[in-house]
Amino acid sequence: MSPTLTLFCIFFYALLSPLQCGTSSSADDDRRWLVSLVDLVELDYVDHCEQRANAAWNELTGNSKGLASKLERDKTFGMFVCQQTTDIKSALTAHALSADDHVLRRKVKLLLQPGDTLLDTEQWIRLVTFGDNAQHKIRFATNYDCGTATNCTLKELHYYMARQQDEETLHRMKQSWERNLPDINDYLEHILPLLRNASKKNNYNSVEEYWDALGEYEGAILKARELWENVKPLYLKLHKYIALRLKGSDAVGKPLPVHLLRSLTGDDWSNLIESLLPKHAGIYQKVHANLQLKNLGGVEAFKQAAKLIKALNLGDADPDIWTESVFNSTCPPTLVDWCKPNKVRAITCKDVSIANYIEAHEAVMKIVYKQTINLHSNNTYILREASRYSAVYEAIPGFVSLLSVNPHALSKAGLFPVETFNYNANHHRLVLQLIMALRDLPKLNFYLAADEWRIKVLMGAIPYAKIPSSWSDFRKNFSNIETADSDFLGDPYMMFNKPFIGKFMGLILKYQIYQSFAEELISDDSDLIKHVAENNERLIDAMMQGYGTVWPEMVSDLLAKREYGLEYTGLTDYYKFLDEYLDNQLEPSTDTSTSDDYVEPVEPEPVPEENEIPSSAENQENKNVDKVETHEDIVDNVIDTGDESNSKFGVETSTVGVLEIKNPVAPGDQKEENTKEASYSTYWWIGIAVALAVVVILIAIIARKRHSHRKQLERQRKNNSHA
Ligand SMILES: *[C@@H]1O[C@H](CO)[C@@H](O)[C@H](O)[C@H]1NC(C)=O
Ligand SMILES: *[C@@H]1O[C@H](CO)[C@@H](O)[C@H](O)[C@H]1NC(C)=O
Ligand SMILES: *[C@@H]1O[C@H](CO)[C@@H](O)[C@H](O)[C@H]1NC(C)=O
Ligand SMILES: *[C@@H]1O[C@H](CO)[C@@H](O)[C@H](O)[C@H]1NC(C)=O
Ligand SMILES: *[C@@H]1O[C@H](CO)[C@@H](O)[C@H](O)[C@H]1NC(C)=O
């Protein structure tokens, strides 16, 4: 019997034992009564959800009465939930629940432990009033400093922060945002301690136990800590690399101010990407340029995401989303859920960037996830919307966001041809890994920091006088980042006392899901998108179960039974190239003889309209393409400059990293072959010299071609923006 199930039985035993004697009604009647009560309660929940969603939508879209009605609805909801919990409790008799009645048992459990809504009315009202007002103020304030002459909105602040270079200005911009955050003393005295009361109301002794229960994972925070210890080295390397690139070697290892990361809470460093690109970052430039050209922001990014999700056979996004969502507001996307089949709407921004593009995939997948749950008859309200923090619910959309930058997905979206990708595959992989790492590693750190710090404060582990500055102390120690004392209050999970543990576990799990599929590929050139599309039953099964099963019990099936729980290795294997690259950047190899293996791309087929090259040169080009590609096959697969790392690639046998490496060839092998073939070497060298000369000429021609191509693109873009 699993520990969860044991707990479950003890719970019911405790609950039911006092009632066991003296009940006269038959078991069947009791059960029927309970079932119909649960059905009724669920219907009432749906009504409340709809009214709250309407109010939330009005508030988000700037309706003048929006905030007032949202507050009203949220307050009423707390009283409603307490009433329903009491009703269900009174309907529970000894015979109402039979041992094999899993679905009903699960529903009852979820309804009896609804989380923070069980707070006393006055306290619940205090919590939602604080959160709703704080969110509203941040979203609608117009007094932000964008480094421009006039004050600006949040949307503009995000836009300018992403582009501002000057450290002083960035700091001012962030301070203007801090001024719109709620009062930290109010939070520390009246909001955060509500968690203790909520734990008690739900029958837990400590906040940590309470959060473990809401995350449905025993010892969740401890497990998160253990996982983090293994991810931390990579995080620290990324941090050091950023310090090195932005501030020079003296800054390496010291805390970085959060505004320097062009971030408000420090949970996402994506805005730095252009300052951090490695030497050969063609894929970034090209994807970035194509996103702009195709205007893949806002609704277009969402539609592109829906195309990928359809290609993955995970479902069709309901078309109403495109017409009824708002795409000119602020990022990241906010989803509003009406708790009805196919009614989720998004509010997001229309800025075009790789980060927003990736984010759009996650958002659309969350919407499709809800649709999938709805298709399954067992998933009535409570199994769809339970107040639980499921890592599976985070991981599957996260997995799709990882796939959005898969070479085949980029190619299908017309952002980067897969043929070009394969040409310098490992250089391109490195850049894509850097893009993802800037997004995911700081999040992982922020989530754990936020949960650990709150638990520490609530346990009394921090002296009273030090509490107000303890967040920035904690972040400095735990994250090596300098933040303000209160900037965590910009996050809705913090405002509403919600744990991040589900999101943390979800981030870990998504890389495991990725790895489980990647390991099944026959060759690393195979199309992962196609493979997932043809083998996605385990994803669909997990989605259909909703909250009917506790998520840790789904993990094994979700990973095709390769792993039975959370492991950090999915994540660390995914970032193999990045890890090697960072090592080399931070401690450059003393061996300078190895050369850069990047092969200048040769356009495989010239575009007809650009056919400026004389036909004789073209023939030569075609002949030499073969030569260059053979050469590439041998050395293309190693990014780094150190021999040591090369041999590491050769030895490793068990991970995704290996699958992503074509024909790893240890440098030593090459040398041996060369000595065997000594008699041919003179001819060989002459051949190489001729080929090199031709390649040099070709590169010159291509450079000219690319130049004129770029000019053409620019002209096109100008025309577009005039139109
Ligand atoms: C901009 O915001 C600051 C800080 O809230 C305020 O003092 C100032 O008056 C505002 N300026 C304008 C032009 O609105
Ligand atoms: C928690 O509950 C107790 C008892 O009901 C109450 O005295 C206390 O003020 C509550 N804490 C907060 C922060 O409201
Ligand atoms: C956003 O677009 C809607 C129409 O879709 C328009 O009514 C609204 O004024 C726009 N808002 C902003 C801030 O541009
Ligand atoms: C719920 O699903 C189980 C198996 O998935 C099925 O046996 C049962 O009949 C379903 N119950 C309802 C009410 O749809
Ligand atoms: C900093 O973190 C380490 C371990 O992560 C811990 O042992 C130490 O007590 C912390 N220091 C402070 C001042 O919080």
Instruction: Find out whether 55 and 73 touch, Cβ atoms under 8 Å.
Output: yes
User: Ligand 2: residues whose CB is within 6 Å?
Assistant: 123, 190, 193-194, 197
- Read off the pLDDT of each residue in 294-314 and give the average, rounded to a whole number: 96
Q: How confident is the model at residue 484 (pLDDT cuts 50, 70, 90)?
A: very high
Cα distance between residue 97 and residue 101, in whole Å: 6
Indicate which atom in ligand 2 lies nearest the CA of residue 196: 1
Rounded to the nearest whole angstrom, what is the distance from the C-alpha of residue 168 to the centroid of ligand 1?
18
Instruction: Give me the helices (H) in 460-568, please.
Output: 470-479, 492-495, 501-518, 528-534, 537-545, 555-558
Half-sphere exposure of 580 (CA within 13 A, CB side): 22
Q: Is 377 in the pocket of ligand 4 (CB under 6 A)?
A: yes
Phi/psi at 344 (nearest 5 deg)? -130, 135
Instruction: Find out whether 204 and 210 touch, Cβ atoms under 8 Å.
Output: yes
What's the distance, CA 183 to chain centroid?
A: 29
Instruction: Find out whether 458 and 241 touch, Cβ atoms under 8 Å.
Output: no
Residue whose CA is closest, atom 12 of ligand 2? Answer: 194
Which DSSP symbol is given to 317? P
Q: Which of 323, 337, 397 is nearest to 364 (CA)?
A: 397
Residue whose CA is closest, atom 7 of ligand 1? Answer: 143
Residue-averaged pLDDT of the chain = 84
Looking at residue 231, what is its pLDDT?
97
Joined together, the tokens standing for residue 15 give 């609950």
Q: How confident is the model at residue 32 (pLDDT cuts 50, 70, 90)?
A: confident
- Read off the pLDDT of each residue in 68-83 and give the average, rounded to a whole number: 95
Rounded to the nearest whole angstrom, what is the distance from the C-alpha of residue 279 to the centroid of ligand 3?
41
- The better pLDDT of the pair 694, 610 is held by 694
Q: Is 100 in the pocket of ligand 4 (CB under 6 A)?
A: no
Residue whose CA is closest, atom 5 of ligand 1? Answer: 143
Annotation: binding site for Zn(2+): 394
Instruction: Find out whether 528 and 406 touch, Cβ atoms under 8 Å.
Output: yes
Phi/psi at 337 (nearest 5 deg)? -115, 125
Looking at residue 663, what is its pLDDT?
35
- Read off the pLDDT of each residue in 349-354 and give the average, rounded to a whole number: 94
Q: What is the pLDDT of residues 587-622, one digit of tens each?
A: 876 555 445 677 776 655 444 444 444 444 444 444
Indicate which atom in ligand 4 lies nearest the CA of residue 376: 14
**Can you give the length of the chain in residues?**
723
∠ CA 330-336-337, nearest 5°, is 165
Q: What is the pLDDT of residues 283-303, one digit of tens each?
A: 999 999 999 999 999 999 999
Looking at residue 637, what is its pLDDT?
41
Looking at residue 595, what is its pLDDT?
52
Q: Is 197 in the pocket of ligand 4 (CB under 6 A)?
A: no
- The better pLDDT of the pair 702, 534 is held by 534
Residue whose CA is closest, atom 3 of ligand 1? Answer: 143
- The domain limits of the chain are 3-112, 215-574, 603-627+665-704
User: Ligand 1: residues whose CB is within 6 Å?
Assistant: 143, 150-151
Cα distance between residue 238 and residue 253, in whole Å: 10
Q: Which of 466, 493, 473 is nearest to 192 (CA)?
A: 493
Give the predicted TM-score (pTM) of the model: 0.81
Pocket test for ligand 4, best of 35, 102, 373, 377 (most atoms within 8 A of CB): 377
Looking at residue 685, what is its pLDDT?
60
Looking at residue 599, what is its pLDDT?
75
Please list the residues that pair with 336 across neighbouring strands: 345
Instruction: Find out whether 528 and 302 touch, Cβ atoms under 8 Å.
Output: no
Looking at residue 96, what is its pLDDT?
73
Indicate which atom in ligand 2 lies nearest the CA of residue 193: 13
Examine the pLDDT at 132 and tell me if it is beyond 60: yes
Q: How confident is the model at residue 25 (pLDDT cuts 50, 70, 90)?
A: low
Rounded to the nearest whole angstrom, what is the distance from the C-alpha of residue 328 to the centroid of ligand 3?
6
Instruction: Find out whether 57 and 335 touch, Cβ atoms under 8 Å.
Output: no
Instruction: Find out whether 328 and 298 touch, Cβ atoms under 8 Å.
Output: yes
Q: What is the pLDDT of residues 399-418, one digit of tens each?
A: 999 999 999 999 999 999 99
Three-state SS sequence of 577-645: HHHHHHHHHHCCCCCCCCCCCCCCCCCCCCCHHHCCCCHHHHHHHHHHHHHHHHHHHHHCCCCCCCHHH
Joined together, the tokens standing for residue 172 give 């001012």
The 3-state DSSP class for residue 257 equals strand
Joined together, the tokens standing for residue 371 give 């649709």
Burial class of residue 708 (count of CB atoms within 10 Å of its CB; 0-12, 13-18, 19+): exposed
> Strand ranges (DSSP E) for 111-216?
144-145, 151-152
**Percent share of the chain, pLDDT over 70:** 78
- Among the bound ligands, name the one nearest to the CA of residue 155: 3
Lowest mean pLDDT among 182-191, 447-456, 500-509, 649-658: 649-658
Looking at residue 205, what is its pLDDT?
94
Lowest mean pLDDT among 127-131, 269-273, 421-425: 421-425
Radius of gyration over alpha carbons of the chain, in Å?
28
Q: How confident is the model at residue 467 (pLDDT cuts 50, 70, 90)?
A: very high
Q: What is the pLDDT of residues 528-583, one digit of tens each?
A: 999 999 999 999 999 999 999 999 999 999 999 888 899 999 999 999 999 999 99
* The one-letter amino acid at 95: H
Cα distance between residue 478 and residue 496, in whole Å: 23
